[in-house]
Structure 1
Amino acid sequence: MKKLDFLYLASQSPRRSQLLEQIGVRHELLLANAAGDAPEDAEAIEAVLPQELPADYVQRVTALKLDAAVARHRRRALPVAPILCADTTVALDALILGKPEDADDAARILALLVGRRHQVLTAVALALPDGRRLAALSVSQVCFAALTPAQIAAYVATGEPLGKAGAYGIQGHAAAHIERIEGSYSGIMGLPLFETAELLRRAGAGCLAGPEQAVK
């Protein structure tokens, strides 16, 4: 089969696009709810099922997002290429901590995390034009320093926690309060590059540049 020289990234996250650029992966965005599109209910896809464990949750949501992206691609009659989806969740033991509803909710979530170790799980899924699907899961450990309520409030006031699972972004102001990580930094950001590159290599996709192309 002819190697494909680009993929579709079905994600609103600018960080995921930047991470793909970092390793030289040529991609185009395949976003939901474009003009004339059928509406998609992202909240329903991301709803947690009763008693669902974090690893099961993030892999199920990623698979559903990939289903929606494949259907979106088909409806738009776009050129054929692999489709990549990812989803990230933060977990404190078995408790799934999603995106905060507002600033107060962000402060509540952060109060649970500070001074403790938690997990960041990112699932990646790839749909290929021949019908194959490949998937991977990255699990990392993150340790926050103990923060005072005033420090939490100051971080929430930056606006950075909103829209992020676990109410923080490791690539932003929160990095000043993270004592230690174990695992994938890029996975904590939202797209584990090693696992993603392995999926592309397994798929034989030509959109993954070699080292001489990726390094500028």
Structure 2
Amino acid sequence: MKIILASGSPRRRELLAEAGVLFEVIVSPAEEIHDASIPLSELCEKNAELKAEAVAVSNADAAVIGADTLVWIDGEPLGKPKDMDDARAMLRKLGGRSHTVCTGVCVIFPGGVVRRFHDLTAVHFLPLDEARISEYFEKANPLDKAGAYGIQESGELIVDRIEGAFDNVMGLPVAKVVEVLKAGF
């Protein structure tokens, strides 16, 4: 079965390849929803489905994987920052606190069978002052990452500990994805 990852995320490509999955990439043109009135897991799964649907419509012979990762704190979803000022504000908000990372996944199989699921990870940040935030930004680009950080890129500068799957924080709960792909439709 042909597998397509409907994401331009280099982290998702890396995680799926490391799991031994053979796939191609077609970046989804779908627009994400960022509506705090929708429960976190539902919001992430819906965004993942929008991304997968946009690619599956012209690739009916493939299993299409869509994914969406959000950082959630104080009842607010944090997506990718608009600019460096927004990124700095996000890290200030996260500093010294705990938040939830949710990755929603949708796999659309040939024949239109849809499997949606998500994974949650608690992330505990170290206290962050302006110097620490600047040091982190010197080592990692925050602009293409939910919550303005990538745990795999100098995460030790900002993250105290996590409870849950590291790969989920990176953007794809790989074990769950592989399990769904193997189970098929």
TM-score, with length taken from structure 2: 0.93
Is 1:155 aligned to 2:136, yes or no? yes
Deviations 1:45-99 (A, max 9, x none): 213236223222111111111111112436xxxxx22111111000014111111
Structure 1: distance between partners of 2:71 and 2:58: 28
Report matched runs for 1:51-200 at 5 Å.
51-73=37-59, 80-200=61-181
Structure 1: distance between partners of 2:138 and 2:82: 14
Q: How many residues align?
A: 185
Q: Say which SS state the counterpart of residue 68 (structure 2) adopts.
A: strand
1:20 is aligned to 16
Deviating above 3 A after TM superposition, structure 1's stretches of 4 or more consecutive aligned residues are none
Q: Say which SS state the counterpart of residue 82 (structure 1) adopts.
A: strand
Structure 2: distance between partners of 1:106 and 1:62: 23
Is 1:30 aligned to 2:26, yes or no? yes
Q: Say which SS state the counterpart of residue 11 (structure 1) adopts.
A: coil
| Cα distance change, pair 22–174 in 1 and its aligned pair in 2 (3 A) | same
Structure 2: distance between partners of 1:51 and 1:85: 22
Q: Say which SS state the counterpart of residue 16 (structure 1) adopts.
A: helix
Deviations 1:129-179 (A, max 9, x none): 122111210000000100111111222344511111000000002233211
| Cα distance change, pair 106–67 in 1 and its aligned pair in 2 (3 A) | same
Structure 2: distance between partners of 1:124 and 1:98: 16
Provide structure 2 residue ranges, at least 5 long, that are not aligned to the other structure. none
- Aligned CA RMSD, in angstroms, stands at 1.6
Structure 1: distance between partners of 2:36 and 2:151: 29
Structure 2: distance between partners of 1:151 and 1:178: 12
Amino acid corresponding to residue 193 of structure 1 in structure 2: V
1:36 is aligned to none
1:77 is aligned to none
Amino acid corresponding to residue 169 of structure 1 in structure 2: G
Provide structure 1 residue ranges, at least 5 long, that are not aligned to the other structure. 33-39, 75-79, 205-216
Amino acid corresponding to residue 7 of structure 2 in structure 1: S
Deviations 1:15-45 (A, max 9, x none): 111111111111011224xxxxxxx4x4xx2
Higher RCO (CA-CA < 8 Å; seq separation 6+): 1
